[in-house]
């Protein structure tokens, strides 16, 4: 699947009724074993929360990628997204990502599994080029 020049703002994944459920993909949710290309996209001000709060079960406010997928992000921006893990992008196990000339700015996380430079959680192999 290819997303080209798409803008997503104020996306929300929330399980406000059950604090023990997980919340995934505030703006974009991609299931397992899927190939996704994001070209020239903007994802901003999206949230993944659980039980009305940011618990350890909220993943990928900007983008959640299921397991064993392939992700290519180029010329895209992830800004001011909020989640406990992977506020910009969350990659499940077995997913491989190539990120080129893309920016991750002012994403907020509420957990320990987030890189300090991009507010994105990388649980599998990735290569990053550009910004």
* pLDDT tens, per residue, the chain with 131 residues: 999 999 999 988 876 555 445 677 778 989 899 999 999 999 999 888 765 555 556 777 889 898 999 999 999 999 998 887 778 888 888 889 999 899 888 888 765 444 433 434 433 334 444 43
Neighbours of 21 (CB within 10 A): 15
- ∠ CA 86-87-89 to the nearest 5 degrees? 60
Closest by CA to 16, choosing from 63, 48, 64, 62, is 48
> Which range marks the domain in which residue 80 is found?
2-129
Tokens of 69: 């997928």
Spell out the residues 6+ positions from residue 65 whose beta carbon is closer than 8 angstroms to its own.
30, 34, 36, 71, 89, 90, 91, 92, 95, 97
Q: Cα separation of 94 and 9, whole Å?
A: 28
Query: Structurally, how many domains does the chain consist of?
Result: 1
Q: pLDDT at position 122, please?
A: 38
- ∠ CA 51-66-9 to the nearest 5 degrees? 60
């Amino acid at each position: 699947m290819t997303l080209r020049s798409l803008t997503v703002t104020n996306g929300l994944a929330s399980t406000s009724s059950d604090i023990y459920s997980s919340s995934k993909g505030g703006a974009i949710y991609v299931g397992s074993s899927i190939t996704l290309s994001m070209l020239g996209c903007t994802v901003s001000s999206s949230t993944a929360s659980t039980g009305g709060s940011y618990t350890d079960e909220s993943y990928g406010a900007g983008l959640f990628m299921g397991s064993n997928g392939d992700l290519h992000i180029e010329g895209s921006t992830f800004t001011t997204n909020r989640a406990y893990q992977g506020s910009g992008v969350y990659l499940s196990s077995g997913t491989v990502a190539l990120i080129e000339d893309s920016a991750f700015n002012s994403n907020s996380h509420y957990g320990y599994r987030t890189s300090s430079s991009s507010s994105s959680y990388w649980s599998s192999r990735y290569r990053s080029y550009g910004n």
